[in-house]
Amino acid sequence: FTGSAFGSAAIWQYESLKSRVQTYFEEARADWFDKIRPQKRGDFRKQVNSWWNNLTEGQRTVTGIIAANVFVFCLWRLPGMRRIMFTYFTSDPSSRALCSPMLLSTFSHFSLFHMAANMYVLWSFSSSIVSLLGCEQFMAVYLSAGVISSFVSYVAKMATGRFEPSLGA
């Protein structure tokens, strides 16, 4: 998984760079068109755009991770989703689904406080780590760390004989 994550991140990084270069040249040609194009309407939309544009690249990257964690947290609150959530969003070495929960459980939090604390810490160091690694490599590190920690959890559970499900990385 880790090799695939970093390989995909390298391809994603290349494609992002290529896209930025193409966008730069397209914007240079289209500058004159901006002067005659009507402005977008809506105060809420302008506020959201202003907020989004003021975020660092790291904060934009982490916003997606936070959204995924909040979405999964909300799914845990739906009674009809409990069976699916326990099957695919908890790590349990005795489960019939072993691989996908290693990744999906990294987005699971059962306690609001636990999720809020984790997301706050992630938000606080996101700008510096993404500026160091780039958003693509950061995502590879984040996902790989989740899968590796789930694997270590599997090994620890097998060694101790405790096969209860667990959440998180």
Instruction: Give residue-wise pLDDT tens across range 89-108.
Output: 888 887 777 788 888 988 99
CB 67, CB 107: distance < 8 Å = no
Q: Of 164, 41, 150, which is closest to residue 95 (Cα–Cα)?
A: 164
Between CA 140 and CA 133 the distance in angstroms is 10
Domain ranges of the chain: 1-37
Positions of the chain with pLDDT under 50 = none
Reported as a single tens digit per residue, the pLDDT across 136-165 is 999 999 999 999 988 888 888 888 888 788
Instruction: Give me the percent of the chain exceeding a pLDDT of 70.
Output: 90
Average pLDDT of the chain? 84
Query: Which of 119, 96, 95 lies closest to 107 in space, CA to CA?
Result: 119
The one-character DSSP state at 93 is T
